[in-house]
Amino acid sequence: MLPKLILHNSISLDSSITGFEANLAVHYGILSSYRPSAMLVGSKTAKIGIELFYEKVPAEEETDFSKPEIQPGDPRAYWLIADSRGILEGLLHIYRRSEYCKDVIVLVSKRTPASYINYLKERNYDFIRAGEDHVDYRQALGTANERYGFKLVVSDSGGMLNSILLEQGLAEEISLVVYPVVVGKQGTNLFRNLEKSGVQLELLRTEALEGNYVHLLYRVLKEYGTP
Ligand SMILES: NC(=O)c1ccc[n+]([C@@H]2O[C@H](COP(=O)([O-])OP(=O)(O)OC[C@H]3O[C@@H](n4cnc5c(N)ncnc54)[C@H](OP(=O)(O)O)[C@@H]3O)[C@@H](O)[C@H]2O)c1
């Protein structure tokens, strides 16, 4: 069985996910209100997040090599980080240390370098291997459900991963925080790589938020969308 998957993004009025300053309290406040078992993050988004917040990557300490202790009923989400190329080698402890993250589980593929798999093993990170080249998300999410009982996953990713998840029919809902800003041609479309067109949606929720933001929630109607 697959967990329910919601794509969650902050966007400009012209559907860009970049080129404006996202309000992280609003973005993650809404994301966590879904109470997901896990958050799905692409490797590029994870790396850019570190570059934004850290001038220098803090050195690893002994505690970074062990899984964090998790108390029963801990409401935080696991972070499922897709990284088949191992670009986060030497960086994952930053996310493991985050107060918002229960622990990191890495999604890898058969092509993932052995040195990265060793890095994960030495530090006791769980990983799911799915797919030949890049990660096969259908298989990886199925394993996450079987192995950890994940029922709801919210994706916090960019236009590439969003497109893959929608293209493959894995996204059940799309959650958007719309900002009162127009980015123009500097922007990056929310589904910049989507081949399908005419994906039909049903509006489930609209809410005007403080700060002139609007939250929209849509259900993806699976019978629509042409390849
Ligand atoms: N406004 C928002 O709400 C929001 C939210 C998140 C991110 N962002 C922005 O979005 C930008 C990054 O977006 P992005 O989509 O380029 O990066 P991303 O979200 O990191 O997605 C890239 C992921 O897609 C995977 N991938 C690439 N090609 C694939 C393929 N053919 N098959 C399967 N998986 C594939 C990569 O996996 P591999 O590991 O296999 O390469 C990588 O993990 C950043 O600027 C970030 O700040 C904005």
DSSP states of 194-216 as a string?
---B--EEEEEEEEEETTTEEEE
Classify the C-alpha dihedral 37-41-47-53 as positive or negative.
Answer: negative
Tokens for 63, please give them: 């505690």
**Pairwise CA distance, residues 52 & 44, whole Å:** 12
Decide if pLDDT at 225 tops 60.
Answer: no
Task: For the chain, give every domain's residue range.
Answer: 4-221
Q: Using an 8 Å Cβ cutoff, are 178 and 14 in contact?
A: no
- Give the mean model confidence (pLDDT) for residues 3-26: 97
User: Higher-confidence residue: 227 or 193?
Assistant: 193
- Give the mean model confidence (pLDDT) for residues 107-128: 98
**Pairwise CA distance, residues 110 & 108, whole Å:** 7
Single out the residue of 225, 192, 219, 190 nearest to residue 6, CA to CA. Answer: 219
> Predicted confidence band at 95 (pLDDT cuts at 50, 70, 90)?
very high
Decide if pLDDT at 222 tops 80.
Answer: no
Mean of pLDDT over the chain: 95
- Give the mean model confidence (pLDDT) for residues 96-125: 97
Lowest mean pLDDT among 37-41, 169-173, 219-223: 219-223
**Which of 10, 45, 138, 216 to mutate to test ligand 1, by most ligand atoms within 8 A of the CB atom?**
45
C-beta 86 within 6 A of ligand 1: no
Q: Which residue has the tokens 């589980």?
A: 105
- Nearest CA owner, ligand 1 atom 33: 134
C-beta 187 within 6 A of ligand 1: no
Decide if pLDDT at 223 tops 70.
Answer: no
CATH of domain 4-221: 3.40.430.10
- Give the mean model confidence (pLDDT) for residues 93-121: 96
C-beta 45 within 6 A of ligand 1: yes
> Predicted confidence band at 89 (pLDDT cuts at 50, 70, 90)?
very high
Single out the residue of 36, 47, 18, 49 nearest to residue 179, CA to CA. Answer: 18
For the stretch 52-76, pLDDT in tens is 989 999 999 999 999 999 999 999 9
